[in-house]
């Protein structure tokens, strides 16, 4: 799947679940940062699972500033896991419309991709597994449904 398609997918999403090792795309990539800003403004729901690292803390502060998000909403949107719970080899994973009949998931391979670069599209069965795992972790630590 081309990154341009991911841009289009995120623009049309009603809800997005992201597992990210550092929040790079949402804070450092202008295209995604602007899409997220626009989506949040129109009421798209975002949920993030990130590790408790200094890089994430720095990017989270930038995210709050860029997106003008209050701390209580940030606490609702983000699950910050101990590093021991977070797979350090995982790249950015996004799940679009996770509550729909046909959620779509993709995995980025590198940070500085541009619109013509490929991302890895996850098959439907694995996407459903990822939705279940995301929801399980979210409920385990947040004790509510995402």
**DSSP per residue, 39-101:** HHHTT-EEEEEEE--HHHHHHHHHHHHHHT--HHHHHHHEEEE-GGGS-TT---EEEESTTSS
> Per-residue pLDDT tens for 29-49?
899 999 999 999 999 999 999
Domain count, the chain: 1
Whether the full predicted model's pTM is greater than 0.85, yes or no, is no
Q: What does the block give as tokens for 8?
A: 């289009």
% of the chain exceeding 90 in pLDDT: 58
- In a 13 Å sphere around the CA of 138, the CA atoms on its Cβ side amount to 20
Which pLDDT score, from 0 to 100, does residue 88 have? 60
CATH code, 104: 3.30.870.10
Say if residue 134's pLDDT is above 90. yes
Identify the DSSP state of 118.
B
Host domain of residue 41: 3-142
Minimal CA–CA distance to 59: which of 27, 93, 19, 86?
27
Which pLDDT score, from 0 to 100, does residue 109 have? 67
């Amino acid at each position: 799947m081309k990154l341009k398609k991911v841009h289009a997918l995120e623009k049309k999403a009603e809800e997005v679940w992201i597992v990210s090792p550092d929040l790079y795309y949402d804070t450092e990539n202008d295209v995604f940062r602007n899409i997220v800003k626009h989506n949040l403004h129109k009421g798209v729901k975002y949920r993030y699972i990130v590790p408790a690292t200094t890089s994430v803390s720095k990017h989270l502060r930038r995210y709050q500033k860029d997106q003008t998000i209050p701390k209580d909403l940030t606490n609702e949107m983000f699950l910050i896991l101990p590093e021991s719970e977070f797979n350090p080899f995982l790249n950015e994973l996004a799940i679009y419309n996770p509550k729909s009949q046909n959620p779509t998931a993709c995995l980025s391979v590198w940070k500085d991709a541009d619109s013509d670069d490929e991302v890895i599209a996850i098959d439907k069965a694995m996407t459903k597994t990822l939705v279940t795992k995301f929801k399980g972790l979210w409920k385990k630590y947040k004790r509510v449904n995402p």
